[in-house]
Amino acid sequence: MKTIFITGTSSGIGKETVKHFSANGWNVAATMRTPEKETELQKLKNVRLYTLDVNDEASIKSALDNAIKDFGGIDVLYNNAGYAAVGPFEASDDVEIKRQFETNVFGVMRVTRAILPYFRSKNDGTIITTTSMGGLITFPLYSLYHSTKWAVEGFMESLQFELRQFNIKVKCIEPGAIKTDFYDRSMNRIDKPAFNMYDNYSAVCHGNMDKVALNAPGPLVVAKKVFKAASSNNFRLRYAVGGQGPLLLFIRRMVPNSWFFGMVRMVTEKGFKKKI
């Protein structure tokens, strides 16, 4: 029986992925910052919960060591923990910028680095990371979030070359809009008092993108894609999934920048009237 180690399982894609792998006969090491608050996952077959904060190296090492001990090994690491800081970049500060990168970029790097000696020792393993279609294309007001996801895409793409010699596979899951609590629980909308020069633009863009999210598929489609990536023995790097994400990524590759940027503005800025 194979084992997957997942970060960020308290909600959304992470939680749904735990359920899907458990239902399909895998052992699951489900990690989160406060597992004592979780009441649903601990009831599932072959699932164990561990305390892990991607910004705390000691908790990462402890969770990995305990999972290997409890399950006899780990076959797949799924880096899923993350959040989005959203809003006008000018309204952000160093604290928010650093926090965004600490979790989405350095957190992924910490957990990945921690498991590499183990995967090398057995000359096998798979590292899967939720990067998002936002790691290859961009939308307004998401500059901090996009910058982290573009960084992780580059990190994973480069990493796959050096790890192939050890039979370690590197795979990116690139969801489009997914209907989860991401837009509430996992999103921090930057709000600086008395900083209102972007308010009209922000309201229009957030409103348009929230409408897209309402019609998006649920997290199960991503969980199924993660399962496909984890179960495959190939070295395929990218797995686009969810709603219009795969189509948008295809269009991005095929059309000139000016055309694609125009499409983004047409959707996200619909109803916005620039003050003259």
Which residues are designated catalytic? 145
Q: In whole angstroms, give the CA distance from residue 169 to residue 193.
A: 46
Q: In whole angstroms, give the CA distance from residue 15 to residue 180.
A: 11
Strands (E), the chain: 3-6, 27-32, 47-51, 76-79, 84-86, 125-130, 168-175, 187-189, 238-241
In the Cβ-directed half-sphere of 263, how many Cα atoms lie within 13 Å? 13
Tell me the helix, strand and coil percentages in the chain, rounded to 5: 55, 15, 30
Per the CB < 8 A criterion, the answer to whether 175 and 222 are in contact is yes
